[in-house]
Amino acid sequence: MRITILCENQIGFSAQKSCVSEQGFSAFIQTKNVNILFDTGRSDIYKRNAKNLGIDLNKTDFIVLSHSHGDHINGLLNHDFKERKKLIIHPQILKKIPKESSLKFIKDFEIVTSEKPFEFVSNIYYLGQIPRKNNFEKGMYNDDKMTDDSAIAIKSSNGVIVLTGCSHSGICNICEYAKGLTGQKLYAVIGEFHLFESDQKAIDGTIKYFKAENPEKLCPMHCVDLSTLEKFHKEFKSIKYGAGDVIELDD
């Protein structure tokens, strides 16, 4: 499995001459059987970086949006797809974004909405609405309960691979739900953990959780501040990936 970061707050070291960055997130997931575009940042940067990296986005089979915030979905308004792709989202997204954006998505894409988790490709799951189970993650953003915040879980020979958007529902809540749904241990967790120095309770609880779970690969990005990234590197030897970087995993 090959996961290419198309948009992130920073440019990956290997892609300094080929990519640009912005505050946002997008990843292109390539497996043996399917290509998935997961989030699209806030502008056309994901497209420009994909072109410079030799990725043909028209070979996308599914688009999955993690939640309604503009730094993850607005890029899709600038798409160049030649056919109506399947777009998987939580139903709240269409209600929370501007009406003109909602109408464009409805016009341009074959939309699949679901609050419940479902397997949209063999061994690949959209998680739907994430239950809030622990007492250290807020599970919301400001005053928004973020019921639309979701993620992708992929079953592999080594365990479940979790790809997250901003993890407003809580990265540990997401991982526990993915484990329960797939019946697998954590193998890799990639994306945004939404952890900041101002919420030490969440940081301490998350570090304790991942120490117990011991996934092989932890890749915090985007909405994680520098001091927290440093803690994750110290505890787990995690690597901070950026736009243009590629993560290779066993299927």
pLDDT in tens, 45-65: 999 999 999 999 999 999 999
pLDDT of residue 223: 87
Question: Can you say how many angstroms the Cα of residue 96 is from the centroid of all Cα atoms in its chain?
Answer: 19
What average pLDDT does this structure show over 129-153?
96
> What pLDDT is stored for residue 251 in this prediction?
86
Task: Give the lowest-confidence range in 23-27, 179-183, 204-208, 219-223.
Answer: 219-223
* Helix, strand or coil, per DSSP, at residue 202: helix
Backbone conformation region of residue 204, classed left if phi is above 0, alpha if psi is from -120 to 50, else beta: alpha
Task: Give pLDDT tens digits for 216-243.
Answer: 999 999 889 999 999 999 999 999 999 9
Decide: 150 and 126 in contact? Cβ < 8 Å.
Answer: yes
Nearest to 191 by CA among 17, 39, 64: 39
**Alpha-helix runs per DSSP H in 82-186:** 91-96, 99-108, 171-182
CB 139 within 8 A of CB 162: no
Measured distance CA(46)–CA(119) in Å, rounded: 26
Task: Report the share of the chain in percent with pLDDT over 90.
Answer: 96
Distance CA 150, CA 168 (A): 9
CATH number for the region 2-248 comes to 3.60.15.10
Identify whether the C-beta of residue 151 lies closer than 8 Å to the C-beta of residue 182: no
Q: Residue 196: what pLDDT?
A: 94
Predicted local confidence at residue 158, as pLDDT = 97
Q: Looking at residue 225, what is its pLDDT?
A: 92
What's the mean pLDDT when you consider all of the chain? 96
Task: Taking residues 122-147, report their average pLDDT.
Answer: 96
Token couple for 3: 């996961």
- For residue 110 the two structure tokens come to 């074959």
